[in-house]
Amino acid sequence: MKKLLILLLLGVPLASCDLTGDEFLAPQNSSALTEEMVFSDSIRTTAFLTRIYSDIGVDFELGIWSSHGNINQATDDAEYTLSSPTQTAVIHYSGTLNPATYASDGNMNLYWRMPYENIRRVNMLIANIDRSPLTQATKTRMLAEARFLRAWYYAGLMKRYGGVPILENKVFTALDVVNVPRNTYAECVEYVVNELDAVAAVLQEPQQQPDQFYGRANAGAALGLKSRVLLYAASPLFNGGAIEVAKGTPVEPIISYPNYDVARWQRAADAAQELINKGWYSLHVNNETAPGYGFYEVFLRRGECKRNCVTHFFNGFFDVTALA
């Protein structure tokens, strides 16, 4: 009897097991944030948008901190001395960029991956913002800001690559096969311009923007970016200026407009005029301290030039980097 008892006692653990995921094998409590915790909370949802803002300086960096130099070394503006074949600039100028040499760390991250990360974040916000306990007015403003930012990241991509895949509001899941062809350059321009027109109608005018929103996208920033996108579209490289080897190939409409059209200059000029006519901005002039000092001040004086600098959308960013 005693022996049976011993046997029983030893056998208890065997009996107490359950093969389909029991407490013993359940995940431990974790301190990590989850999707539910983020989008059911107004402050965290706002922080999700803030994250998209935090990368807007991407064009400003592009490898300038790298000892191997920036993207200029891929052009005839500069020469790369070390010839390390895996450096981003070398991959670009020697024409060896392909899916097998593409590495998303290093500078490539800034050129390609980071804009698409932020485009996805915008689409995530669009898809989830309704779950968040925010007022309708705030939601509308945040969505417009997010769409502005999406246009901003597309504009950066277009500047470097020409036409890129436009995802619209798509949020990929783990089971999606990602096979999105590049849109033509013309399609990208139209997409970005339409987006900016749409958000410009929703976003506040600079003068109406409350002080605490300084640094967030407003209607002035949207129209400013639209003007810049159209100006680049009219410029020689994109306005029928594809490189010789691409001429007549399917790649040509992707990297530029296939032909030159003088009307694109007009359209760029009209877009600039549209913003000027709003009367929101004027030139910040200060030639007394030193000639051109006003231009210098534009970048440094937070808030002060709110009414007259179209660049003020960026100032939030510059202040952050200065503090970092």
Quote the least distance from Cβ 294 to another protein, whole Å.
19
Which residues 6+ apart lie within 8 Å of 231 measured at CB? 268, 271, 272
Decide whether 50 or 266 has the Cβ nearer to another protein: 50
Binding to another protein, residues 55-84 (CB under 8 A):
55, 80-84
Residue 257 is given by DSSP the state B
User: Is the Cα dihedral 265, 218, 279, 282 positive or negative?
Assistant: negative
CA 309/CA 295 separation, integer angstroms: 10
Contact status, residue 272 vs residue 225, Cβ threshold 8 Å: no
CA 98/CA 295 separation, integer angstroms: 41
Binding to another protein, residues 247-306 (CB under 8 A):
302-303, 306
Decide whether 173 or 277 has the Cβ nearer to another protein: 173
Query: Using CB under 8 A, which of 61, 117, 197, 274 touches another protein?
Result: 117
Binding to another protein, residues 170-229 (CB under 8 A):
172-174, 178, 180, 211-216
101 binds another protein (CB under 8 A): yes
Look at the block and give the residue holding tokens 């107004």.
42
Which whole-number Å values give the CA distances from 291 to 49, 152, 165, 283, in the listed order? 39, 32, 44, 14
141 binds another protein (CB under 8 A): no
1 binds another protein (CB under 8 A): no
User: Is the Cα dihedral 85, 89, 92, 95 positive or negative?
Assistant: negative
Quote the least distance from Cβ 314 to another protein, whole Å.
11
Question: How many Cβ atoms sit within 10 Å of the Cβ of residue 161?
Answer: 16
Binding to another protein, residues 8-47 (CB under 8 A):
10-11, 13-14, 17, 19-21, 24-35, 37-38, 44, 46-47
Decide whether 207 or 287 has the Cβ nearer to another protein: 207
Binding to another protein, residues 145-174 (CB under 8 A):
165, 167, 172-174
94 binds another protein (CB under 8 A): yes
Decide whether 1 or 263 has the Cβ nearer to another protein: 1
Q: How many chain residues bind another protein (CB under 8 A)?
A: 86
Which residues 6+ apart lie within 8 Å of 287 measured at CB? 293, 294
Decide whether 26 or 290 has the Cβ nearer to another protein: 26
Decide whether 80 or 295 has the Cβ nearer to another protein: 80
